[in-house]
Chain A
Amino acid sequence: MKKGSLVAKFAVALLALGLWQFGEAAYIYLKAELAQQLIKAAWNRTRNGACAVKPWPWADTWPVARLTVPTRKIDLYVLADASGRTLAFGPGHLSGSAMPGEPGDILISAHRDTHFAFLELLLPGDEVCIQTPRGALFRYRVVGAEVVDKSALGRVLSDDGERLTLVTCYPFRAINPGGPLRYLVTALRA
C-alpha cells in the first residue's frame, strides 16, 4: 500500500512536470503570437510619426518594418535587433545590415518554428514586401535559397546590391534548437 502511494506520488510529480514543460512550450508559441498584436499597436504609432515606440514598457526593442508575403498571407512586424530576446516576439532586423532603400543587404531573421516557418514554402518568384515606418513599400522577388553555416555572416552581408535576406535555422523540423546550419532566402529588389 505504501508502495502504491509512492508510485502515485511519483506519477503526480511526473504529471506536474509534464504539464509544466507543456506549458513552457505553449507559452513560447503564445508569446510569439500575442506579442505581434502588441507590436502592431506600436507599429501604428510609429507609422504616425513616433520614433522607436516600445510595444510594452520594459521592452528593449521596437518595430522597424512590416514584412508581408501576399501570396502566403504572411503579415509580420519586424523588430530592431536580432538578439535571442527579440526573436521570441517577432522577426529581428540584424543591426548593422542595411535598411530598405539603402544599398546593401537587409538581413531579417526569425525562429524556424514560429514566425519564419513559412520560409520553407517560399518559391523563386514569390514577392516579399517591406514597409518602412515612413510608409514606403519596397518589393523584393525571391531568387533562391541556400543552406550555410552560421559563421557565414560576413559573406552574406558583403553584397552591395539592394538585397533582402531572410534567415532561419535549418533543418526546419529539428528538435534540437542549437544547430549550426542556417537557411537563407535571398530576394532582390523588384
Chain B
Amino acid sequence: MTSRKQAAVAGNPILGIRVLLDFLALAAKGVAAGIMTCVVLAALVLLFSGVAGAASFAPGDYIQLKDVETGSLLIKAEREGLYRRMPLLKTDVETRVSGIVARTRVKQQFSNPTGERLEAIYVFPLPENAAVDHLKLHVGERVIEGQIKERESARRTYERARSEGRKATLMEQERANIFTNSVANIGPGETVIVEMEYQQTLRYDQGSFRLRFPMVVGPRYIPGDNVVAGVAGSGWAPNTNVVSDAARITPPVLRPEAGPINPVTLRVELDSGFPLATLSSTHHRVSIAPGSRSTKMITLNDGAVPADRDFELVWTPAAERVPRTVLFTEKRENRTYALLMVMPPQRVEPAERRIPREVVFIIDTSGSMAGQSIEQAREALLLALDRLTPEDRFNIIEFNSVTTTLFRQARAADGQSLDRARAFVRRLKAQGGTEMAAALNAALNNSDDANVLRQVIFLTDGAVGNEDQLFRIIHDRLGDSRLFTIGIGSAPNGYFMTKAAQFGHGTFTYIGNPGEVKLKMSELFWKLENPLLSDIQVEWPAGAAAEMWPQRIPDLYLGQPVLVSAAFEGNVDRVIVSGRRGGESWRAVLPVDRGEVRPGVGALWARHKIAALMDRLRSGANQDEIRSAVIAVALEHHLVSKYTSLVAVDVTPGARLDGPLQTAAVPTNLPHGWQYDAVFGQLPQTATTGPLHAIFGLVAIMLAALLWCLRARAPGFVRFPGSGR
C-alpha cells in the first residue's frame, strides 16, 4: 500500500504537494491536540495524586526547597567531612611459611595530608589465631620497640604521650581477629610507620594447607537497642546492651563510588617442606617464582591491591609426600615448648548401618549477604538438598531481621518437600538485619536422640558484633547436634566461623567465590558422611608435667589432623597419640626429642592457651580468674590479648603543639561483592506508580480519540484522483 501511494505521488508532483500539505496540517492539529491533552492530563494527575492546597512551614522551622535543590543533604556533608580529615594508609605484608607455621610482618604506613596534627585510629583484621608479639614504631630513622602492658596501663602510657605531643602507637585487641591501632601526633605532611609481627599455625584440612590474611573488617550488624556507655570508640555504631564495644569494631566504611582506598602489597615466602602438587590464590592474581633453596616466592600480580577482601593461599603436597607428622620444639629457660601435628589414616570404612540424619540448614539473608554472597549460599544450599535421601529429615531456617522456617517441623526429604524447599531457596533475597540469635535458638534445642544424627549447616558471612552471645547460645543449646559453619563471601568473620564450629562440635568451610561452591560443598559432604575419629588421647610419659592445649581433643572429621601445643619440663622422648574411627583403633608414636627446633613455638603455645582460657568464659568461668590467667601468660610471652596491649612511645616530643589534636578514624573499603545500600539500609521507596499509569492511560486514550477522528477524515485523504485504477 505504501509503495503504491509513493508511486502515485511521484507521478504527480502537484498532487503530491497537496497531499503533503494536507497531511502536515492534520499532523499539526494532532500535535496541538496532543499538547492540550498533556496539559489537561498533567492538571488532572496533580489533582488526582496529591492532596491539593499545600500549606507550608514557616521559614526557619523547615528546610527550604531551594536548599534541597542546591544539595544541602547531610549525607553529602558527612562525606566531605570524611575527606577533609582522612589519614592515608598503605599496608605492606610479608609472610614466611615453614611447614604448618607462618610468621608475618605487617607494616602500616600512616600519612597526614591535612594541615592539622592527627591521631589516626585504624580498626583492622588479623587471622583469628594470630599471636601478635612485636610492635615497632618507625619515626624517620628512629625505631621504637613496643612494650607489652596490661590494657589499661598501656592506654594510660599512650594517652600521656599523646597529651605531651610525642609520637606513640597503641595496639589493642577487640576480638580474636579485630585489632585497633592508634597513632598519636602525626604532624601535617608527616608519615609514621607502625610495624607488627605475628606467628600462626596454618590450617591443614582435606589434604591442603591454607594461609589467610584478612584485609578488611566488614561492616558488622550490631543487635540490641539500648545505647549504653560501653567503651569509647570511633565507629559508626553506638554501643548497645548486647555489644558494649560496638563503636570499637565498626570502622567507617567509604561508599564504593568514592573509589578503593588502603592499598596493600604482599609477599609470601613459602617453604612447605614437600614438593607441591598445586599452589593457588583464591581471590587475587599472583605470580609464583622460585625462591632460595626449595622455597617459592609469591607476589601479587597487580602490585598493590585495595584492602577489600581476604588473601588466601592454598597448596597441596604431591600425592606420595603427604606429611603425616610435624614436630617443632623450642627451649626457653627450663621449659620446652612443642607443636605436634599428626594426620590419622584417611582410609574410608565401608559404610556401616547408615544412621538417619536430621539436617537443619540455616541461611543468612541479611543485607551483608546481598550480591554475590547470597548467590553462592543459594547454590551451596541447593547442592546440599540434592544430597539428602528419603530416610533423612530436614528443614530450612532463613533469617535477617526476622526468622522464617520452611516447615514447622523437620520433614522427610521426599520429592514434594524437596521441591518446596528448592522453590523456597530460589526465592531467597538478602536484605535487612542479622538477628542471628533467634535463628540459632530455633535450630538448636538441646535435642539428644541417639537414633538420629542431627546436623546443623549454617551458611553466613558472620558479619555480626555479638559473637560472645552467639557462642553462649551454641554452647548452651547444642545437645547432641553438630554445627557446621560455611563462611560465605570475600571477607567472612573467621573468628565466628571457627569458634562457632568448635563450640558446635563441627567444622568450618569457606566459600570465597562462585567457582568454589561445588568443590567446597563436596568436601563438606565427605566429612558429614564419614565416621569421626573419636576418643583421641595424647599420652605423656609419667613425670613430664606437660601442659597441653587444647586439654581435651575434640572428635575429628576425616581429613583433619590432631594438632596440639604443649609445654613441659625435663626430657620427654616420645608421646603416644591414639584414637578410634568406626570400629578400628589407631595409634601413633611421636619422637618428641627429635623435633625440629623452631623459634616462635612458645608464642604459639601461649596463644593456644589464651584461646582455651577465653573459651571458658562461654561456659561460665569466673571472669576475674580468666582475666588474670590470660594476663599472666600474655605478659610472659609478650602477646597482645583482650587484656594486654602493645604500646610504643617516641622519646622526643613533637616539634609543634599549636592547635588541637584531631582524632580521625581511617575509613575502610566495603568488602568486595557487598552492596552498600543493602548493608547500611536505605529509607523505603515510597511512591506508587499510580501517577505514571494514569498519565500513560490518559495519553493513550487521547491518542485513540485523535486516531478515531483521523480515521473519519481518512477517506478524503487517501482517495485522490488517479489512484482509482
Q: How far is the CB of A115 from chain B (nearest CB, A)?
A: 9
* B451 interface residue per 8 A CB criterion: no
Contact in complex: A96, B688 (CB < 8 Å): no
Contacts of B432 in A (CB 8 A): 95-96
- Tell me if B's interface is mostly helix, strand, loop or mixed: helix
Contact in complex: A114, B684 (CB < 8 Å): no
B684: contacting residue among A32, A82, A117, A145, CB under 8 A = A82
Known: A22-B694, A149-B75, A181-B68. Contact between A121 and B51, CB under 8 A? yes
Known: A1-B715, A144-B61, A153-B681. Contact between A21 and B693, CB under 8 A? yes
* A53 interface residue per 8 A CB criterion: no
Instruction: Report the bound CA distance from A23 to B50 in whole Å.
Output: 18
Contact in complex: B701, A179 (CB < 8 Å): no
Closest Cβ neighbor of B719 among chain A residues: A1
Q: How far is the CB of B49 from chain A (nearest CB, A)?
A: 4
Q: How far is the CB of A150 from chain B (nearest CB, A)?
A: 4
Contacts of A121 in B (CB 8 A): 51, 53-55
Q: Which residues of chain A (129-182) have a CB below 8 Å from chain B?
A: 144-156, 158, 160, 167-170, 172-179, 181-182
* B689 interface residue per 8 A CB criterion: yes
Instruction: Report the bound CA distance from A120 to B52 in whole Å.
Output: 10
B682: contacting residue among A23, A118, A153, CB under 8 A = A153
Contact in complex: A10, B402 (CB < 8 Å): no
- Tell me if A's interface is mostly helix, strand, loop or mixed: mixed
A18: contacting residue among B401, B433, B701, CB under 8 A = B701
Q: List 21 A-B contacts (CB under 8 A).
A: A7-B707, A7-B710, A11-B704, A14-B707, A15-B705, A17-B697, A18-B697, A21-B700, A25-B693, A28-B689, A29-B690, A114-B688, A117-B49, A117-B50, A145-B62, A148-B74, A150-B682, A167-B684, A169-B686, A173-B50, A182-B686
Instruction: Report the bound CA distance from A23 to B696 in whole Å.
Output: 11
B686: contacting residue among A12, A14, A29, A111, CB under 8 A = A111
Instruction: Report the bound CA distance from A104 to B240 in whole Å.
Output: 12
Residues of A within 8 A of B (CB): 1-5, 7-8, 10-15, 17-25, 28-29, 32, 82-84, 87-88, 92, 94-96, 98, 102-104, 109-114, 116-118, 120-121, 123-124, 144-156, 158, 160, 167-170, 172-179, 181-182, 184
Known: A8-B711, A145-B57. Contact between A21 and B685, CB under 8 A? no
Interface code B236-278, partner A: CB below 8 Å = 1, 0 otherwise?
A: 1010000000000000000000000000000000000000000
Contact in complex: B401, A95 (CB < 8 Å): yes
Contact in complex: A151, B682 (CB < 8 Å): yes
Q: How far is the CB of B302 from chain A (nearest CB, A)?
A: 30
* B14 interface residue per 8 A CB criterion: no
Extra 17 A-B pairs, beta carbons < 8 Å, given A4-B718, A147-B68: A10-B707, A11-B704, A18-B704, A25-B48, A25-B693, A28-B688, A109-B684, A111-B686, A118-B51, A149-B75, A151-B676, A153-B681, A153-B682, A153-B683, A167-B684, A175-B45, A181-B68
Contacts of A28 in B (CB 8 A): 688-690, 693
Closest Cβ neighbor of A156 among chain B residues: B683
Instruction: Report the bound CA distance from A75 to B658 in whole Å.
Output: 60
Contacts of A111 in B (CB 8 A): 686-688
* B526 interface residue per 8 A CB criterion: no
Contacts of B699 in A (CB 8 A): 18
* B698 interface residue per 8 A CB criterion: yes
Contact in complex: B691, A113 (CB < 8 Å): yes
Contact in complex: B684, A87 (CB < 8 Å): yes
Interface code B639-657, partner A: CB below 8 Å = 1, 0 otherwise?
A: 0000000000000000000
Contacts of A181 in B (CB 8 A): 68
Contacts of A17 in B (CB 8 A): 696-697, 700
Known: A10-B707, A88-B688, A121-B55. Contact between A172 and B50, CB under 8 A? yes
B433: contacting residue among A83, A88, A96, A176, CB under 8 A = A96
